[in-house]
Amino acid sequence: MSASKVHEDQKYIDALAQNNSFVIQSIYDKFAPKVIGFVCKNNGDSDQAQDLIQEVLLVIYDQAKTKNLQLTCPFDAYFFLLCKRKWLNILKKSSLNEVTINEEIVSANEPVQESVLETEHFETKQSLYEKMFQNLGDACKELLTKSFQLDSMEEVAKALNVTYGYARKKKSLCIGQLTKMIQESLVYQNLKT
């Protein structure tokens, strides 16, 4: 992201990262009606809109926690554009032939577009990682999960009842296998272009 000034609406991102239920409720109160209206006008219903809102909030939460997301535009525009693009992708995937787009114009200022593209890119990478992680063998999944949860490889080795040297070598092999699977996937190839 560019070195733009952090927007005052960063408070919403921070509240999501801290799981502040009061502010999360205010996000629903302030911003959900616009998204629900958009989804309902574009081949969806209220339940689908609620699911979409939750998915987008989880993506923003993940990015806030793992990438320290800094908002440089109004939260409303960022959130709505993420929801809109995700909904249009859902419609495209469900192969509805006619998609009617009834929307209020969202300003196409660069910080919003840049933030949305970065978040979508993050979500795609996260999804690819999770999918490939699930394709690993059980021993690799267990070892990598433990290494994410525990502070040191000594603790991992002890928890798995293996030697420290074995745990380090196995972790290296598992990460190599996971990296290879990711790099050979079509999604990864598309991300590179």
Token pair 């999918």 is found at 131
Per-residue pLDDT, averaged over 116-133, amounts to 76
Spatial contact of 99 and 43, defined as CB atoms under 8 Å apart: yes
Amino acid in position 156: V
125: exposed, middle or buried (Cβ count in 10 Å: 0-12, 13-18, 19+): middle
The stretch 127-151 carries a mean pLDDT of 86
- Predicted TM-score (pTM) of the model is 0.55
pLDDT, mean of residues 107-129? 66
**How far apart are the C-alpha atoms of 120 and 45, rounded to whole Å?**
23
The yes or no reply on domain 10-100 and CATH 1.20.58 is: no
Specify the pLDDT at position 108: 44
Distance CA 38, CA 31 (A): 11
Average pLDDT over residues 95-114: 50
Give yes or no for residue 105 having a pLDDT over 80: no
Delimiting residues of CATH 1.10.1740 domain(s) in the chain: 10-100
CA distance linking residue 108 with residue 40, whole number of Å: 23
**Using 50, 70 and 90 to split pLDDT, how confident is the model at 176?**
confident
Average pLDDT over residues 139-167: 88
Quote the CA–CA distance of 184 and 18 in Å, as a whole number.
Answer: 36
* Token digits of residue 64: 């806030």
